[in-house]
Structure 1
Amino acid sequence: MTDWLLQQQVVLSVALIFLMLTVRFLIPALGAGRAYQLWLLVPVVLIAHNLPASAVSLPAGPVSRYVTGTGSLIASPAGNTFLFIWAAGAFLIAASVVFRYVALARHIANKHHTASLHSRHYLVSPAVSTPLLFGILRPQMIMPAFFHSAFTERQQSMIIEHEQTHLRRGDHLWNALALILLSLFWFNPLVWAALSAFRTCQEVSCDAAVLSHKSQADKIHYAKALVQCAEHTTGNNTLYPAYGEKKTMLTRLTQMQKTTTGNKTITLATCLAISIFTANTALAKLAGTLVKAEQVNLAQPVMRIDPVYPAEAAANNQEGSVILKFDISATGTTENIEIVDAFPDGVFDESARVALSQWEYKPRVQGGKAMRQTGILVQLDFRLDNTRASNANEMEKISVTR
């Protein structure tokens, strides 16, 4: 998990920097709607970066040989500090989101009433200080208690249209995805900055959609509604972009004053840059240098459990060996364990199989992707000689013909 998280950071950071610069300086040239659509680059590039590099597994090389005795030692993996810190941070963020969501849902449920305007239904609740779209599976428009007293009917209509635009575009789902990515990559400061830029861009694009066919008088009323929302908005942060959050409101007012040109050249150049970046990300998975078979098996297990020496074999002073074939998954676990050869037959097989099933390997990474390895061979020697058994952690490579 740690390796995967770190492997995403370069491509993710480049994508976020590109998007933040683009929406900051090119919204008038691209148009607010197109600028918002560019944020699709984040999930697309993450998917492209994690495409399977190849359907063909890496080949196996020589067999690894280990010696075990009656005094087997169990190796324990070293603690992963980064993984612990990441997991703690991800848990705290996810728990905070869930807690705030549940708390707000309860407040709304305890005190609200239903209203409508021009056949458009919504809830009014003192639990919120700004109009918002709340919910994931069945989102509802929630208006603050001052909604009817602070805004004219025309302003109310445009505010409702704004929230309906969020609903029509599925912004509540994109916001949920953004929170999931924040929980996964919270340690990257660019993710926090990008989340703020994403939500602001989301609001600006909604404003543009609402005002696209409105008169100048309506635009003035709409701008005044933004200011009034900012005046009533409290410091309580919600899970969704606030209609009147002060910092966002200033950006939105600034963007409303700018003329959108929809420059085709800049739009095409931006789309071309995104296409090249995404394609290179996907192709990088297929362009990794092939790993020689001898190098594949150089990876040693990070956790190795010595087999239990069968009591009956020890009592009979019986020694032997077992050769096993297995696969190493992309996460480093052992799978598809088979007995290739054993001497004497059937004495040490089960003990060897049980031990190998608990081994863990550091995954082989090729082209930034953890690869599955198949047909790995290991030989476990069962010896009663305590001197040789004490050297069980040492590994030697021997060539075999397969």
Structure 2
Amino acid sequence: MTIPIMLTDTFYWITSALHQSPLLMTAIDIVLKSIAVLIPFALIDALFGAKLNNTSRHLLWLNALLCLAILPWLPALLSLRPDVFGGGQSAAASAWFELTVSSQQTPASNPFNAATVLLTAYLTPVFLMLARLLFALQISRNIFNNAVPIRHHDTTDLLARLRKQLAITRRVNLRVSDRIESPVSFGLLRPTIIVPVQARDWTASIMTDVLLHELCHIKRLDWLTTVMAHVLGCVFWMNPLVWLAVKRLREESEHSCDTAVLNSGRSDTDYAESLLGVATLCIQARRNTGRSHALMQTMLDQNTLKTRISRVLEENKMQASEMQKQIRKTIACLLMLSAGVLGVLGATQVLSAQEQRDPPATRAAGDEEMLPLHNEQPLYPRSAAEAGIEGWVHVRFTVNAAGSIDENSLAVVDAEPADTFNNSALAAARKFRFKPRIRGGEAVAVPDVQYVFRYKLQADPADLLDSANPATSTD
């Protein structure tokens, strides 16, 4: 019997946390939806990835992560939809909420309540991983500052010629450093290619292939997408599919640049030899340094080198026209898939958040409904708990344009039994905070907001879960 009791207590603790913090509920909602966003893309890659070219596979995972980046902003974007029914703005409606208060709940004044613990457990890894990314950016900057510019005329002329061949208008810095073990590129407005000191032993053919590969990364803005992918990994760290997406995006960006080098006219056998040659010359440096740079686009990864060389040598080359045709089809399919997935998830989120009787179309574009941000958990009066008394309190108040409670409007409408739970309900209501209602681009007050506090000696966990959302919205 111990395990069922523990499971029940855990479920009660979690639902209590959701009840106390709508912000926590929103965060969990977004994380769960992020899994739903990535599942279709993972299935497409598993079922049809072998039939797609490298660029199409890269677009698949890039599109998946872009959908993930849009997900938190989806409600705001959907609020900008035009009023397709032509309806005007509906009259302001009062909101009716219901909360369940249990004598067994942890007091809201406890700084270690369930909502605080769960939010801390989620946000702590987020901030730690974001700090690690900032540290990685600083390392990249230090490597750049300590790297020595390459002024050898043959090499700089080669870089200029290849940059013109790829139609790259941005200035590209070329430097050498003893702090890296593989050619890398990074930066957006002023991109940089840094080669290891082993580059002095490279042949002209190897140097050409290396520069072509890194310039392809620069042209495709791969450094920017890499940073975006890592930031999304930090935010959605609980979603295992996010880390799969980050890994696959990085792998496919390398394969795509390999394909671009071959399409520029380089021989597949010569390019494979260049990859192997650079790996051989740099492998000792990797053993000596043991460093890896997450936010640099590293040309060589020992874990994927064998696969890359195999693809270079074994894959049939697609004609340029055929490749472009497949890429266009891939983009069209991905746009339709993204619109469908985000549309379904966006609609689900709006309905679950508002539960209104008035249809969404009756609001003008840009208008937003009031939503609870913080519901203070009332304390169950000790005297009532000891006497075994249950009851309810119906309160009414106005939420001002700042999202706070207008003290003068706060009043008890009715209560059963009279006066037993009134002070507890009023004290909690004073601390409520809301996201203001938006009308015509401005925050407005919402009068006649009504809450019913139900005091139960032993609440059903389902009551706590249901009470986190508005029960109804009436005129």
User: Normalising TM by the smaller chain, what interval?
Assistant: 0.5 to 0.7
1:8–1:250: structure 2 CA closer, same or farther, 3 Å change rule? farther
Alpha-carbon distance, 1:241 to partner: 3.6
More helix per residue? 2
Q: Which moved more, 1:89-98 or 1:130-139?
A: 130-139
Taking the aligned partners of 1:305 and 1:105, their CA distance within structure 2 comes to: 52
1:10–1:85: structure 2 CA closer, same or farther, 3 Å change rule? closer
Alpha-carbon distance, 1:131 to partner: 0.8
Q: Which moved more, 1:191-200 or 1:218-227?
A: 218-227
Q: Report whether the alignment pairs 1:173 with 2:224.
A: yes
Taking the aligned partners of 2:184 and 2:330, their CA distance within structure 1 comes to: 35
- RMSD over aligned Cα atoms: 4.5
Tell me the equivalent position of 1:60: 94
Q: Report whether the alignment pairs 1:326 with 2:360.
A: no
**Mind listing any 5+ residue stretches in structure 1 that lack a counterpart?**
66-72, 307-321, 344-352, 364-371, 380-400
TM-score norm. by structure 2 comes to 0.58
Contact 1:227–1:244 at 8 Å: present in 2 too? Answer: no
Alignment of 1:41-60 (within 5 A): 41-44=64-67, 46-47=69-70, 50-52=73-75, 53-54=78-79, 59-60=93-94
Of all paired residues, the percent bearing the same amino acid is 21
Taking the aligned partners of 2:239 and 2:270, their CA distance within structure 1 comes to: 40
Alpha-carbon distance, 1:267 to partner: 7.6
1:268–1:137: structure 2 CA closer, same or farther, 3 Å change rule? closer
Alpha-carbon distance, 1:135 to partner: 3.1
Tell me the equivalent position of 1:382: none
Alpha-carbon distance, 1:271 to partner: 4.4
State the one-letter code of the partner of 1:183.
Answer: C
String of CA shifts for 1:257-309, please: whole Å, max 9, x gaps.
2125558689848843661453242144336377257xx99x89632699xxx
Which one of the candidate residues 159, 163, 168 is aligned to 2:210?
Answer: 159
Alignment of 1:114-193 (within 5 A): 114-115=150-151, 116-120=156-160, 121-149=173-201, 151-193=202-244
Which one of the candidate residues 259, 266, 270 is aligned to 1:221?
Answer: 270
Alpha-carbon distance, 1:89 to partner: 0.8
Alpha-carbon distance, 1:204 to partner: 0.6
Tell me the equivalent position of 2:28: 6
1:188–1:229: structure 2 CA closer, same or farther, 3 Å change rule? farther
Alignment of 1:270-289 (within 5 A): 271-272=332-333, 275-286=336-347, 288=351
DSSP-derived class of the 1:8 partner: helix
Q: Report whether the alignment pairs 1:198 with 2:245.
A: no
Tell me the equivalent position of 2:415: none
Contact 2:95–2:448 at 8 Å: present in 1 too? Answer: yes
String of CA shifts for 1:347-402, please: whole Å, max 9, x gaps.
xxxxxx99967424699xxxxxxxx99545259xxxxxxxxxxxxxxxxxxxxx97
Q: Which moved more, 1:8-17 or 1:82-91?
A: 8-17
Contact 1:158–1:210 at 8 Å: present in 2 too? Answer: yes
State the one-letter code of the partner of 2:30.
Answer: Q
Taking the aligned partners of 2:118 and 2:30, their CA distance within structure 1 comes to: 15
Taking the aligned partners of 1:301 and 1:118, their CA distance within structure 2 comes to: 61
Taking the aligned partners of 1:30 and 1:360, their CA distance within structure 2 comes to: 51
1:277–1:342: structure 2 CA closer, same or farther, 3 Å change rule? closer
Tell me the equivalent position of 1:303: 376
Q: How many residues align?
A: 337
**Mind listing any 5+ residue stretches in structure 2 that lack a counterpart?**
1-22, 81-88, 100-106, 161-172, 358-368, 380-394, 413-425, 437-443, 452-473
Alpha-carbon distance, 1:228 to partner: 2.7
Contact 1:108–1:127 at 8 Å: present in 2 too? Answer: no
Tell me the equivalent position of 2:137: 101
Tell me the equivalent position of 1:34: 56
Which one of the candidate residues 373, 377, 391 is aligned to 2:449?
Answer: 377
